[in-house]
Amino acid sequence: IVIIIVAVVLGVTLSKTSSQFQSVFMSRCEKFKDSDCQKIWEAFQQAYVNKDPCKVPMEAYDPLIAAAPFTPTCNRMMFWSKTKDVVHDFTDKRDCFVTLEDTLLGSVLDGLTWCGKEGSNETFTTGCPGWDDCDNPVRSFWNRVSAAYADVACGDVTAMLNGSITAPFNNMSIFASIEVKRFSAPRVRSLNVVLVTQEENATNCTNASLKDLQKELDQGITYSCTEVPETKIQECASDPQTPCGDCW
């Protein structure tokens, strides 16, 4: 009898995790009007449910991208690497730039962890493989959506990179390994790097990794780099009077 009670309680807690995850997904999704969140949820789930959580390639999310395609916002697309907090502090206050987290798929899954298990229809939020462990559902998701978002990039594109680290353009990052490779001319006209600096300047626009970035760029895309102190970005974020074009 004890075993039965334990099993039932466990089963109930597990499906509670599943349905809690689903309610977060659905309520975030429903903020985007005219989207079929039930259909998007189904497409999302098929990528990892009932599968080995170490064998989820990025292609598993192809049906999800098809169910919730990205609409490009030319000249306003913002990419970033190792600057998540500054970027979102800025985009939350000013609406001149659009990041992946401002789109349906990016905002619905931002900050969440999930995985499935062979022989189960549940979504688990604990005990999932880590980012670097294997082909896990979370990393494959960000790889796939970042690719789709970069595929529609157009016009003048902005990227906020971190000037406090030795390699602001790091080959291991999603920005370097996925997004930059997908920017294509003439659809993308320019890539404008905003190198976010602190008081203790670690690096500047002459950084070696930024040379690699320029080499990676499709011929025909104009490159520029501007060093901007983090404090200046924060000031501009809190001052709606300053036109975004004058922030850096």
Between 43 and 149, name the residue whose CB sits nearer to ligand N1C: 149
157 binds ligand N1C (CB under 6 A): no
User: Smallest Cα–Cα separation from 199: which of 178, 172, 229?
Assistant: 229
Between 14 and 155, name the residue whose CB sits nearer to ligand N1C: 155
- Output the CA–CA distances (angstroms, integers) from residue 9 to 13, 117, 124, 132, in the order listed: 6, 19, 16, 32
Query: Using an 8 Å Cβ cutoff, are 9 and 16 in contact?
Result: no
- The amino acid at residue 15 is S
- The amino acid at residue 137 is P
61 binds ligand N1C (CB under 6 A): no
Please name the residue that has the structure tokens 């157009």: 154
| Closest CB 158 distance from ligand N1C, rounded Å | 10
The span of 46-54, 75-83, 120-128, 220-228 binding ligand N1C (CB under 6 A) equals 75-83
169 binds ligand N1C (CB under 6 A): no
From 80, 90, 169, 183, residue interacting with ligand N1C (rule: CB under 6 A)? 80
| Residue 29 a catalytic site member | no
| Residue 247 a catalytic site member | no
| Interacting positions 107-126 with ligand N1C (CB under 6 A) | 110
Q: How many chain residues interact with ligand N1C (CB under 6 A)? A: 17
101 binds ligand N1C (CB under 6 A): yes
Between 130 and 243, name the residue whose CB sits nearer to ligand N1C: 130
102 binds ligand N1C (CB under 6 A): no
Q: Provide the CB-side half-sphere exposure for 77 (13 A, CA).
A: 27
| Closest CB 203 distance from ligand N1C, rounded Å | 16
Q: Which residues contact 157 (CB under 8 A, 6 or more apart)?
A: 77, 79, 183, 188, 190, 191, 192
Long-range residue pairs from 58-62, CB within 8 A, at least 24 positions apart, any chain: 58/140, 58/141, 58/143, 58/144, 58/147, 59/144, 60/137, 60/140, 60/144, 61/140, 61/141, 61/144, 61/145, 62/144
Between 131 and 243, name the residue whose CB sits nearer to ligand N1C: 131
Between 174 and 236, name the residue whose CB sits nearer to ligand N1C: 174
149 binds ligand N1C (CB under 6 A): yes
Catalytic residue, from 54, 115, 128, 154: name it.
Answer: 154
- Residue 34: count other Cβ atoms within 10 Å of its Cβ: 4
Coil, helix or strand at residue 1: coil
Which residues are tagged catalytic? 74, 154
Binding site for ligand N1C (CB under 6 A): 79-82, 84, 100-101, 106, 110, 131, 142, 146, 149, 173-175, 179
